[in-house]
Copies of this chain bind each other. A is one copy, B any other.
Amino acid sequence: MPAEVEPICPTFMLNKCTHCDARGSGVCEAVPEDGLTRLSAAATALSFEPAQRFITEGDKAEHFFVINAGTAKLLKMLPDGRQQIVSFCGPGDFLGLSVFSLYSYGAEAVEPVRLCRFSRFTLRCLMTDFPAMERRLLKSATFELTLAQEQMLLLGRKNARERLASFLIARARATGTCPARGRPAVPPQVALPMNRTDIGDFLGLRIETVSRTMTALKTDGIIEILPRCGVIIRDFDALESLAACI
């Protein structure tokens, strides 16, 4: 099903990781230059179209993934079909860690996704040989945990308006559209590759509520809704205070 983007070709693989877009941002940055050959050989490059699933919740967790390009969503489902998106992932993000042997969430491409797949065994070997990689993974997991806790605060205690505001500001910061701290110089244009349903499933809201709340923010002059999946933040301060100090 998934397209093998590049054939397993040692000569090509030799410097694949050195030219990777995610080199320097993801966990792979922890592997020193002289280990890249091994890293390249261990990786299987794959690509997925929107809505294609590459992790099924509950399946045996045999692989790890590092996103090179595009956006994916991680989601958990209830038996009756309700679903919660626990994270949107982009370039450099690492997926697939689990304490038990089963994936605790599913993963689907939102935008076209390119990623590298590693076997559980391979990663274990790499971690043993490159302790910096394990340290990098711990840092990554800790960061994810911090985000998850922030999201719990959002889901448990914020109203629809505050949730949307938090989401837009988090997106603007995560995509580098505006600085991590302080206010941006120009109105940030935030890309939203996911549809309204996905935003709702991430924020614990129904699609209608997302739509209504977006319209309300627009009406108040806080944001501008772009025709093709995006918004411009017109009043950053207002949005930030709505987000209630994310």
Smallest CB gap from A104: residue in B:
B146
In the bound complex, how far is the Cα of B138 from the Cα of A79, in angstroms? 30
Contacting residues, chain B, for A145 (C-beta < 8 A) = 97, 141, 144-145, 148
In the bound complex, how far is the Cα of B104 from the Cα of A143, in angstroms? 10
Contact B204 A245 (CB under 8 A): no
Contacting residues, chain B, for A79 (C-beta < 8 A) = 244-245
The 9 closest A-B pairs by CB, nearest first: A156-B204, A155-B155, A148-B148, A141-B141, A84-B153, A86-B149, A84-B156, A82-B157, A76-B153
In the bound complex, how far is the Cα of B149 from the Cα of A201, in angstroms? 13
Q: How many copies does the complex hold?
A: 2
Residue with the greatest number of chain B CB neighbours at <10 A, chosen from A137, A149, A150, A155: A149
Contacting residues, chain B, for A99 (C-beta < 8 A) = 139, 142-143, 146
- Does A213 count as interface, using CB distance less than 8 angstroms? no
Q: Which residues of A contact B (CB under 8 A)?
A: 74, 76, 78-80, 82-84, 86-87, 97-100, 104-105, 131, 134-135, 137-139, 141-146, 148-153, 155-158, 201, 203-204, 244-245
Smallest CB gap from A83: residue in B:
B157
Residue with the greatest number of chain B CB neighbours at <10 A, chosen from A79, A148, A153: A153
Contacting residues, chain B, for A158 (C-beta < 8 A) = 78
Contact B86 A153 (CB under 8 A): yes
In the bound complex, how far is the Cα of B142 from the Cα of A105, in angstroms? 13
Contact A149 B148 (CB under 8 A): yes
- 6 further interface pairs, Cβ-Cβ under 8 Å (given A76-B152, A138-B138): A78-B153, A82-B157, A87-B149, A104-B146, A131-B131, A145-B148
In the bound complex, how far is the Cα of B97 from the Cα of A60, in angstroms? 29
23 pairs, CB–CB < 8 Å, chain A vs chain B? A76-B149, A76-B153, A78-B158, A78-B244, A78-B245, A83-B157, A84-B152, A84-B153, A84-B156, A84-B157, A86-B152, A98-B142, A99-B139, A104-B146, A104-B149, A105-B149, A141-B141, A141-B145, A145-B148, A148-B152, A152-B152, A155-B204, A157-B204
